[in-house]
Structure 1
C-alpha cells in the first residue's frame, strides 16, 4: 500500500482513490489509532467504538471493511491510519510517520461548544480542528473544552486525566464526550495496578499544582507542560515515562 494513500471500500475490496475522488459529504463516523512496527493498542476497543456509531443498516459492510482495512495495514514503520464513513461509503486513510510528542501546552477554549455530536468521533473533527488552530495561534498545542459552568470536559483531540496524589482522576461520566480508548486503557491499567481512580468536576483553576495528562491514540500519554493563561501545573519525576512504557507494553501485534 502507498504511504498517505486513500482507499475506498468498493465491491468488497479496498480500491485506491485520489483525494479529489473522496466526496465532500461530512464525516458520519471516524476512528484512528497508532500502528508502530505492526502493533496497535486496544484495537478491539477502536473497532467496537466505530461499529457502535455506524448505522445498523451498514453493520455487515462495516464489519467486512474494518477487517479488510486492518489486514491491509503495513507491518513495518509508524502509521496513523483512519477509517471513515462518509454517507454510505467507507474509506481508509493511511498516514505515515506521524510526529509523536511526550508533552503538550494547552489552553482553555472559551467560545461556544463547537460539537454537534459530542459522543461520536467523526462529525465534529473539522470544527475541532479549527478550535485547535486557534489554540496554536495562542502558543498552545491543544484546546481544552469546558462546560457552560467552566468545568473541564476534554481536549479537542484528546481526553484529559490528572493526578491527586496517587489517585488518577478524570471528568464525570455524565459529561458528553467521545469515549476515549486511550483514557479507558490508562484508567483500566491504573485499577489493575491497585490504584484508585476518581471522577470529579473541576475548573482549570482547580488543577493548579497537579500533574495533568492529555491522552489520545496518536501520542498515548502526553504531560501538560503549560496551561496557557491558566493554572501552573506540576510533574512527578519519572511517572510519565513509567506510564508511557506501561501503556506501550499493552500494544499487540496485528
Structure 2
C-alpha cells in the first residue's frame, strides 16, 4: 500500500481503490489516531467511539451489520504498517441508503508541541456535533478560516460566547494546579461536541494522579493569564501560545490573550501520555 492508499471493505478483504469522490458518498462516522512503530495511544477508546458512532449512523443502512463493522476494523488494524509514523482513518460511508467501509492509510504529518488558536467568528457549521465524521468538512472550514488569520485552528463558541471545542482540537486549561474543561452532559447541550479520546484520557490520567479537575463555562477572554492546552489524537498535548480575538468579547478587535506556561508541566504530561502507548495489535481487540 502507498502512503496515501484508499481501500474499501469488500466483505472479506480490503480492496484498494484509486479514487473516492466525496460528492458521491456521505461520511457517517470516522475515527483516526497516530501510530508510531506499531504502537498507539488509547486505541481501545478510538475503537469504542467509532463502533458507537457507526452503530448509530449505520442503523437502517443496507449492508451494515455489527459483524461487518468488527471484521472491517480488524482488517484495518492489520493493514497499518508496523514501522514509521502513520495517521490512519476508518470511515463508515453511505450512498443511496447503502453502507460502505473505507480505510485511509495516511503518513503522519509533522508533529508539534505548540499551537496558535483563533476564535471562530463565522456561523455554526456543525450538523452532528457529538459524532466524529459527518462534520469533518465543516471542521476543516473552521480550521482554514483560522489559518487565514495567522492561527493553526479555530475555536467554536456557544451563542453566549463560551468555549466549546476547536476545529480539530479539544480545549482544556489550568488554574493553578486544577485542570479544567468545558461543561458536558445533561443540561449543557449547548456544549455538545465530539467525545475527545485524548481529553478523556488526560482527565482520566489526572484523576489517577490525584490532580483535581473541574468543568466550567468560560469565554476566551476569561482564559487570559491561564495555561491552555489543545488536545487531539495526532499531536497529543500541545501548549497554546497565542489566541487571535481571544481578548475581544464582541469580536470587534484583534486582541490576543496573554497565556501562561508552568515550566516543565507540558513536557511531563506529554511524557506520561507517551508512556501509555501499547502495541496496536494487542490494543485493537
Q: TM-score range by the shorter chain?
A: over 0.9
Q: Which runs of 5+ in 2 are unaligned?
A: 247-256, 281-285
TM-score, scaled relative to structure 2: 0.87
Counterpart position of 2:4 = 4
**Where does residue 273 of structure 2 map in the other structure?**
247
**d(CA) in 1 for partners of 2:148, 2:23:** 30
**CA distance in 2: counterparts of 1:112 and 1:83, whole angstroms:** 28
> Superposed, which structure 2 residues align to 1:172-187 within 5 Å?
172-173=183-184, 174=188, 175-187=191-203
Q: Deviations along 1:93-139, whole A, 9 cap, x unmatched? A: 01113211100000011222110000000001111101111100000
Partner of 2:35: 35
Which residue of structure 2 aligns with residue 169 of structure 1? 180
SS in 2 for 1:94: strand
Matches within 5 A, 1:1-254: 1-20=1-20, 24-54=24-54, 55-56=58-59, 57-87=64-94, 88-173=99-184, 174=188, 175-230=191-246, 231-254=257-280
Provide the residue aligned with 2:252 in structure 1: none
Residue 85 of structure 1 aligns to a residue whose secondary structure is strand
| C-alpha deviation, 1:23, in angstroms | 6.7
SS of match in other structure, 1:117 = coil
Give TM-score scaled by structure 1 length: 0.97
CA RMSD of aligned residues (A): 1.2
How far 1:248 moved relative to its partner? 0.9
**CA 1:23–1:12 in 2, change beyond 3 Å: closer, same or farther?**
farther
How far off its partner does 1:24 sit?
2.5
Larger Rg computed on CA atoms = 2
Change (3 A) 1:148 1:249: same
Give, in angstroms, the shift of residue 10 of structure 1.
0.5
Measured in 2, the distance between the counterparts of 1:71 and 1:20 equals: 22
Residue 60 of structure 1 deviates from its aligned partner by 1.7
Query: 1:21: Cα distance to partner?
Result: 6.7
Show CA shifts across 1:135-154 (max 9, x none): 00000001000000000000
